[in-house]
Amino acid sequence: MLQRISELIGRRRVFLITAHERLDGDALGSELALYHMLRLMGKEVTVYNQDVTPENYRFLPGSDRIVRELPPLESFDAAFILDCGELGRVGREAARIATIPCLINIDHHVANGGFCDYTLIDPQASSTGELICRIAAHMGFAPTGEMATCLYTAILTDTGGFRYGNTRRGALLAAADLVAGGADPQWISENVYDANPPAKIRLLAAVLPTLALDGDGSIGSLTVTQQALAATGALPEHTEGFVDLPRTIRGVRISILYSELGNGHFKLSIRSKGNVNVERVARAFGGGGHINAAACQIMGELPDIRRRVLEAIRMSAAEE
């Protein structure tokens, strides 16, 4: 598939690049790295995202060129759909994007239905950014400093700062090559992790009292309500990283963040340690992800949602 994608890039001239809603470092880093590579090859490229780029990723080279209104689609020869297991994840413009003649999906999630014309999926890859590294290498393209910064950010964030179980040899080798190519690990980490707006810390203070421990202390959760967001002046993007906090408690194997979206909808972010499979839990509610990191959306009252999720965790554990 690397060869087929390389040939497609060579034949096509005008590209759209997009990724999922609620942007993260992997989505943005992968988009912008691919943007820089295609531009250097003389291609016309537009990066479109439904959502605003989170503050802590605006340091990425090219982030100011991302558009939030989809331009007329007639001119596009192909579209890259990055870090998405299904087309609907790009948001409200999914149906329009589907009309572009050639769709190319690059992803590393287990639950991927192969919804594009061409698909590069590797669930063993740490991130979509790692797969972009492979494409560049296959094409004999040495990453520029801008590309290296974007791709290092993608790998750094999707491995949880090189702490998660997906921090395998390939991720570390790719990161080393990117540092050699100009990525500055300290500067990138400071921008990603040490540049929080005050509203995020105020939100965290409001959320920590919601900590709940279930399953004899093996399941920890936090809840973010619309009321907490409004009271602290925070944005949904400011919850990034909250899901990892309960997992730092001794004995907790599964960590959950319940985020109220409004109108009875909640987004669940789920993380785990070791070989505890939370992708199976998310899949039970129409979501997906990876063994140690997954997400889904559920409609209902929070107490009932919590009961259903805990039951799904128990059933998943019984299958292992």
Q: How far apart are CA 180 and CA 307, in angstroms?
A: 49
Please state the pTM of the whole predicted model: 0.92
CA atoms in the 13 A half-sphere facing the CB of 280: 16
For 26-64, write each residue's pLDDT tens digit. Answer: 999 999 999 999 999 999 999 999 999 999 999 999 999
User: What b/e string do you get for 6-29 counting C-beta neighbours within 10 Å, with b at 16 or more?
Assistant: bebbeebbbbbbbbbebbbbbbbb
Q: Per CATH, is 200-319 categorized as 3.30.460.30? A: no
**2-193 sits in which CATH class?**
alpha beta
114: pLDDT strictly greater than 90: no
Query: pLDDT tens-digit profile of 130-142?
Result: 999 999 999 999 9
Could you report the per-residue pLDDT of 265-286, keeping only the tens digit for each? Answer: 999 999 999 999 999 999 999 9
pLDDT of residue 290: 86
Domain span(s) for CATH 3.90.1640.10 in the chain: 2-193
Q: Which residues of 207-241 are buried (b: 16+ CB within 10 A; e: fewer)?
A: beeeeeebeeebbbbbbbbeebbeebebebbbbbb
Domain with CATH 3.10.310.30 in the chain: 200-319
Query: pLDDT digit string (tens) for 182-227?
Result: 999 999 999 999 999 999 999 999 999 999 999 999 999 999 999 9
For the chain, give the percent of residues with pLDDT over 90.
92
Query: What does the angle CA 168 – CA 35 – CA 291 come to, to the nearest 5 degrees?
Result: 30
